[in-house]
A and B are shown apart, each in its own frame.
Chain A
Amino acid sequence: MNILTVENTYKAYGDFKALIDINLSIPEGSIFGLLGPNGAGKTTLIRIITQIIAADQGSIKINDEPLNIKHIQTIGYLPEERGLYKKMKVGEHLLYLAQLKGLSKKEAMEQIKIWFRKFDIAGWWGKKVEDLSKGMQQKIQFIITVLHKPKLIILDEPFSGFDPINVNIIKDEILNLAKEGNTIIFSTHRMESVEELCDHIVLINKAEIILEGSKKTIKEDYKTNTFEVEHKKLISELDDGFDLKNQEQLEDGFYRTSIKIVNGKSPNELLKTLIDKVEVHSFIEKIPSMNEIFISTVQGGDHA
């Protein structure tokens, strides 16, 4: 079951095309990475899904239902550009935004209490926002996003400006929310968090989707059959079918070498060849990182 389906969506600002023919579907309960360089169209797509702006063409469905006003309550959105009313008190602020999302005052109070306990901030109710530190304000912003128990949570660069401790707190909460069956769309440039959290990704560049799928399949697709070996003694030459890519010297006479297997030979055959020549200390397949995939596809797209 897909919680969100985007079909043939197109959006232009004047002459500038912000999104061209976007198609994607997000399975319920997944943590979905929406990736792309600055200005690729991520925020535009998010703003369309959150009904802040309307698409020029195409259809958006949430749980197979065309996007409409009642979906505001289904979605929790943490924008990249985010802030709070500085003069308001924390409790009133949360209450106000929760009610704007459609919660009754009573429901809102209950939820606020739950989150206050979870983040251990019970004493903050009467504090003015401007008296909170930046990290504290970010916690409040995160609570605002999830207070109305949205099934679809959209986080645009959620970790920007967070200190490492808060990053971990929020990361744990994101994983918890996913475990509870909520779907998370996660828009970011920070590939290490994508690596860690996401199970599906879509990569947008210049208003178009250039890569989409589960993290595992994408990585499989981008594997180059390259192995990384740590060994003693220099490798001077290899048999046919093995391509020596790169060799660097480590301390104490150790070397690290990347070897690509070509024309159908198996990793075991490579290992056998190596054992004859050098003393092998480690042998591992090189899986491309999301960062590498990101850079190579975006740049590849540029050259194309």
Chain B
Amino acid sequence: MHKIGLIIRREYLTRVRKKSFIIMSLLGPILFGLVGVIPIWLASREGDEKVIEVLDESGYFRGKFEGTGSVSFSYLDNSLDDAKSDLNSNNSYGLLFIPKLDLDNPTGITFFAENNPSIEIQVSLERFLKNEIENIKLDQSGIDQEKLDKIKTDIDLNIINITDKGEKEGNVGVATAVGYIAAMLIYFFIFLYGVQTLRGVIEEKTSRIVEVIISSVKPFQLMMGKIIGIGAVGLTQLLLWVILTFVIYQGVLTFYDIDISKSKQIELAQNTDATPNADADMTEIFEKINTINFPLMLGTFLFYFLGAYLFYGSLFAAVGSAVDNDADAQQFQLPITLPLILSIVLLTAILRDPHGSLAFWASIIPFTSPVVMMMRMPFDPPVWHIVLSMISLVIGFIFTTWLAGRIYRIGILMHGAKVNYKILFKWLMMRN
């Protein structure tokens, strides 16, 4: 309808033009981008050559340390005191001192450095020394390296999903991450924009513009126009975030010439099995990400995003119409926000059993279904679950919109009345 269109347009434009919207749209992706980029950037910074000097009085470790791209080792022969005094001038990262060792009780190994070494380096040095001493001890007990290599076993569980379309590889970690992000985004947006709807209605009431407007349009049109207009603002913001985050992420990567696969290589040489396979690991992760059906994810995300917003947005609008200020809104907001918070709390349990009966019911009941279903989506729930959940959400938002409309038409004309649930119920039942 033409008039709803006008209302949607106003609600949309006044919000999109606001400084706060523009700032949020720009800051959001910069924050998201930074969260993604900083670890990679930090990791790549460690790619600056670090030299660790090794003074080995025991003689067990000479030549055993293997450098990686970012860490190399050099072996010293002078005395500990000389080595320590040289440390300041020769720019090395630190000095690893290994005294003559009693293999049964290897004490006195010390790392000298100007600053504390990174936890990663400390852990890898410790692990390396431990492994090496174990190897020597095993060797001394008569087990040779060949046998040792045979004993060591590496397990990587393959997960295959059996579907109608045949078998396909799955990955719990990636699915969890994707589900979480989608579920949290929906939760976050319902809150952010639901409350905006509530504020918008209260603003119309307190500024007393509402009676002028509803002498031109039906209260229901005004309510729907507002809900849809603000929903469109939410979609726009989301879209801007996705696009800008991607652009910034790519931009930073290109600018610093960072190869994502390198970020995994901060392990030291001791992990002899992992290092050559790091690239292969990354490829594997990318392959697993690709097993997620992204068009389907995106489609369902948009559906649940809009469905959830319509479902909750109209309830927020009804609350806004019943009260005169934000403070009064609190008591009526609680029953709306409770199921939302519950759905976030449920996520852990859903993850433990993404196809169990709790997961099923929580993804069918429209109060929790948007958040919960997004968590389940990467785990390939049966199609009929998705369809049933969608139908129930549509019925749900038609119902809440109807309910909200009945409260709204009376609420917006009430000023200064103390409203409680009994009165809300009376409004609901009142004839037009």
Contacts and interface: CB of A to CB of B under 8 A. Distances in A.
B139 interface: no
Contacts of A165: none
Interface stretch (B87-95, B98-106, B214-222, B275-283): B214-222
A100 B431 contact: no
Interface in A86-101: 86-88, 96-97, 99-101
Interface in B398-418: 413, 415
A50 interface: yes
Contacts of B214: 52
A79 B212 contact: yes
A14 B430 contact: yes
Nearest to A46: B215
Contacts of B430: 13-14
A232 B413 CA distance: 59
Given A54-B432, A56-B431, A85 B6 contact: no
A97 B208 contact: no
Given A56-B431, A83-B207, A87-B14, A97 B426 contact: no
A62 to B, nearest CB: 14
A100 B203 CA distance: 19
Given A52-B214, A100-B216, A84 B431 contact: no
Interface residues of B, number: 24
Contacts of A54: 432
B14 A82 contact: no
A83 B209 contact: yes
Contacts of A50: 215
Interface in B286-321: none
Main secondary structure of the interface of B (DSSP, over half): helix
Contacts of A99: 6
A52 B413 contact: yes
Interface string B211-244: 1111111000000000000000000000000000
Contacts of A85: 14, 203-204, 207, 209
Given A83-B207, A83-B208, A96-B6, A14 B213 contact: no
Given A56-B431, A100-B3, A100-B217, A144 B212 contact: yes
Interface of B: 3, 6-7, 10, 14, 203-204, 206-209, 211-217, 413, 415, 426, 430-432
22 contacts: A47-B413, A50-B215, A51-B215, A52-B211, A53-B432, A54-B432, A75-B215, A81-B211, A83-B208, A83-B212, A84-B207, A84-B209, A85-B203, A85-B204, A85-B209, A86-B207, A87-B14, A96-B6, A99-B6, A100-B217, A101-B216, A102-B216
Interface of A: 13-14, 47, 50-54, 56, 72, 75, 77, 79, 81-88, 96-97, 99-102, 141, 144
